[in-house]
A = this chain, B = another copy of it.
Amino acid sequence: MSENTNKTLEELYGIIKKAAILSSCAGVLEWDERTYMPNKGATHRSDQKALLLGMVHEQFTSKRVGELISEAEASGLAKDESSTDAVNIRELRRQYDKNVKIPKSLVEELARVTTLAESAWIEARKKRNAEEFLPWLEKVIELKRQQAQAVGYKKEPYDALLDDYEPGETAENIRNVFDGLKAQLVEIVGAIAQSNRKPNVAILEREYSIEKQAILGKMAAATIGFDLEGGRIDITTHPFCSGLGPGDTRITTRYNLNHLGQALFGIMHETGHALYDQGLDPKHYGLPMGESVSLGIHESQSRMWENLVGRSKPFWVYFFPITQKIFWESLGDVKLDEFYFAINDVRPSFIRVEADEVTYNLHILLRFEIEHAIFSGELKTNDIPAVWNKKFKSYFGITPPDDAQGCLQDVHWSSGLIGYFPTYTLGNLYAAQFFAKAKKDIGNLDEQFANGQFEQLLGWLRKNIHRHGQRYRAEELVRQVTGEPLKPSYLIKYLKDKYSPLYGI
């Protein structure tokens, strides 16, 4: 490597890392906004975030960055495609070409409007009625439309948004995946519905003090590997995980006094995200080699720890006696098998984040169809509540009693996260395929879980996924790790293997 190349990279990385640190400041502001910020602070917060994100955008898309990327490309560095620098240059090029097309004013306006829209969403959710939120949503959608037009797309505007979360993914491919999945899911759901066996879910709906739930949640998170010295668990309206930088990864949850599972599995889900963030290589912080591949891969980690680990029998062989001891008054009379069946109850329900593994992907399908219809111009924002309820009835056979349990349940749209939902289903598919490989590679995972040992699975994920940063695109990563392309059959097999004995189907 010549000295000039060294200087080029040094300057390039310096600017990019600085932009990443600045962006992580906005991350702290956002975490604060969703946890502790007083109501009246919303307007000033929107000014703060608009300013910061505008500056990040300006720094990242400066002419100098473009020049430096070109210089780095022209040097020999990018030739060995698997080298760290080649990966960084490739991904910076991709991000740069995309971001440079978005005007700074749009970035600032999006930051400002989504902060206020999120406040409006919180208020509307309290009133359980979408009406006052819809004008805000309309504003957000209009700005996202502008973003899609600015960035450009091959087939349809929606693809431009999807690409933000799952680089290279298209609406067409997502529809194919859903088509392959839908029929088989519906078959399993149908068989379960016909089964005479039903879990006793009432045992989860007894009284579970929130203080104790918080302790149990922390224990579960720490047990599977969350470093609490480098993270926190707080309360919020809509649970999320926030990787604020090296040594600072925070998750949030919400508690329900009369449901044991909601917060607990929410925490395990967010812990899965957090383990990915805590597993990124801090020496590459701010550069593609130190960042996650895509939201789908991120979600594969959260869904794996929430479901494939957290709702598995072996996990509860270990964790049920602990849980029972903490909540003796409510769980003293419950047997492990009864508990295990209850936390794996499959039935139509209104809230996505509380849905079982089988119906979950139908929740995603519904959201994908609605947001896709909005962007293809088939659907008007004002019609969302009615269309939501109609679709819900047709997929689940039940109608949400109000918008809080319908189209207002998720924070995403208010935050401008459109094109984000499909990554949840991709995550489920990746998770099933990764987990099957991990089981094969490690051998006795079930036995380990039953003994409270999760280090080997975490180590496997660190080695095969986390430490690679963005070395591989999602599609290629799946191939590298499992030796096969993405196959939805892994998820279907996992579900059948698990639910057949439970429901006798």
Question: Least Cβ distance of A48 to chain B in Å?
Answer: 5
Identify the closest chain B residue to A278 (Cβ): B40
Point out the residue from B47, B229, B231, B244 that lies within 8 Å of A44, measured CB to CB. B244
Q: Does B41 lie within 8 Å of A247, measured CB to CB?
A: yes
Q: Within residues 20 to 73 of chain A, which ones have a CB less than 8 A from any CB in chain B?
A: 21-22, 24-25, 28-29, 32, 36-45, 47-48, 51-52, 55
Copies of this protein in the assembly total 2
Q: Does A51 lie within 8 Å of B247, measured CB to CB?
A: no
A232 in the interface, Cβ–Cβ < 8 Å?
Answer: yes
Contacts of A207 in B (CB 8 A): none
A321 in the interface, Cβ–Cβ < 8 Å?
Answer: no
The main secondary structure of chain A at its interface with chain B is helix
> By the criterion of a CB under 8 Å from any partner CB, how many residues of chain A are at the interface?
37
Q: Within the assembled complex, what's the spacing in Å between the Cα atoms of A47 and B18?
A: 9
Contacts of A36 in B (CB 8 A): 36, 232, 234
Q: Does A44 lie within 8 Å of B32, measured CB to CB?
A: no
Given known pairs A40-B230, A229-B38, A230-B41, the reply for A21 and B248 (CB within 8 Å) is no
Question: Least Cβ distance of A284 to chain B in Å?
Answer: 14
A163 in the interface, Cβ–Cβ < 8 Å?
Answer: no
Given known pairs A29-B28, A48-B24, the reply for A227 and B41 (CB within 8 Å) is no
Given contacts A21-B47, A55-B55, 8 further A-B contacts (CB under 8 A): A24-B44, A24-B48, A25-B52, A28-B48, A36-B36, A36-B234, A41-B244, A44-B247
Closest 10 CB pairs of A and B: A41-B248, A40-B247, A40-B230, A44-B245, A41-B247, A44-B246, A21-B51, A25-B48, A40-B229, A39-B229
- 13 A-B pairs with C-beta separation under 8 A: A21-B44, A25-B25, A25-B48, A25-B51, A32-B32, A37-B248, A38-B230, A38-B248, A39-B229, A40-B246, A40-B247, A41-B246, A41-B248
